[in-house]
C-alpha cells in the first residue's frame, strides 16, 4: 500500500485562500484522528487500522510542516511593518506552532509505527491533546487573525504570499517533496 500526500490547496493565486484551505482540511483531519483513536481503543490493532495510522501520519507530517512554513515564511514577513496588534498575534501563533509540533512529536512516534501502540488509552490521550491544541489554534487563525489580515494586505501582497508558498513546495532541500 502506498501513502501519498495530496496538497489540500490547488489554487495559489491568493495566499490567504491557501491557508484557509489548509485550515478546513486540518480541522476535518482532526475529527478523523479522534475517530481513529476511538477505533483503536475499541479493538485490537488490525492491518486496516494500522494503514489508517500510517496514512494519517503521512498527511500530518507533510501538511503541518508545510502549513507552518506557509504562514511563517509566506505570510508573516508581509505583516512585520504593520500594526503592533498583528505583530503580537503573530508572535503567539508562532509559539503555538512550536507547541503543536511538540505534541505532534509525541503522537507521531506511535502514529508512524502503529505496532508501537501498546497502550490504546495513552494513544487516545496523546491524540486528544494534539487535536485540541491544533483545533483551537486553527479556529483562532480562521476567525480572528485571517479576517484582520485580509483587510491589511493588497491583492498584490496576497498573490505574493501565494507565490512564496509555491516556491516552498519546489524546495526539495526542506524535505517537502512527497513521501
Q: What is the nearest approach in angstroms of Fe ion to the Cβ of residue 65?
A: 12
Single out the residue of 69, 76, 54, 21 nearest to residue 174, CA to CA.
Answer: 69
Q: What is the nearest approach in angstroms of Fe ion to the Cβ of residue 57?
A: 20
Binding mask 48-77 for Fe ion (x = CB under 5 A): -----------------------x------
For 136, phi then psi, to 5°, come to -65, -40
Residue nearer to Fe ion on the CB measure, 39 or 72: 72
Residue nearer to Fe ion on the CB measure, 19 or 37: 19
Q: What is the nearest approach in angstroms of Fe ion to the Cβ of residue 14?
A: 15
CB of 119 within 8 A of CB of 96?
no
Binding mask 127-146 for Fe ion (x = CB under 5 A): --------------x-----
Single out the residue of 49, 47, 30, 31 nearest to residue 39, CA to CA.
Answer: 49
Residue nearer to Fe ion on the CB measure, 8 or 114: 8
Q: What is the nearest approach in angstroms of Fe ion to the Cβ of residue 53?
A: 24
| HSE (side-chain half, CA atoms, 13 Å) at 54 | 16
CA–CA gap between residue 131 and residue 104 (Å, rounded): 9
CB of 73 within 8 A of CB of 176?
no
Residues 75-134 that bind Fe ion (CB under 5 A): none
Question: Under the rule (CB under 5 A), what is the footprint of Fe ion?
Answer: 71, 141
Amino acid at each position: 500500500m502506498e501513502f501519498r500526500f495530496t496538497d489540500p490547496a490547488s489554487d495559489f493565486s491568493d495566499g490567504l485562500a491557501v491557508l484557509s484551505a489548509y485550515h478546513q482540511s486540518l480541522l476535518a483531519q482532526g475529527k478523523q484522528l479522534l475517530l481513529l483513536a476511538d477505533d483503536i481503543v475499541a479493538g485490537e490493532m488490525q492491518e486496516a487500522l494500522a494503514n489508517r495510522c500510517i496514512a494519517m501520519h503521512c498527511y500530518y507530517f507533510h501538511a503541518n510542516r508545510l502549513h507552518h512554513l506557509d504562514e511563517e515564511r509566506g505570510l508573516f514577513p508581509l505583516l512585520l511593518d504593520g500594526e503592533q496588534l498583528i505583530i503580537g498575534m503573530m508572535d503567539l501563533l508562532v509559539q503555538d506552532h512550536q507547541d503543536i509540533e511538540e505534541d505532534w512529536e509525541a503522537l507521531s512516534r506511535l502514529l508512524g509505527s502503529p505496532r508501537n501502540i501498546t497502550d490504546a488509552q495513552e494513544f487516545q490521550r496523546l491524540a486528544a491533546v494534539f487535536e485540541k491544541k491544533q483545533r483551537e489554534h486553527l479556529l483562532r487563525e480562521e476567525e480572528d487573525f485571517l479576517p484582520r489580515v485580509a483587510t491589511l494586505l493588497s491583492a498584490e501582497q496576497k498573490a505574493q504570499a501565494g507565490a512564496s508558498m509555491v516556491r516552498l513546495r519546489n524546495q526539495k532541500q526542506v524535505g517537502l517533496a512527497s513521501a
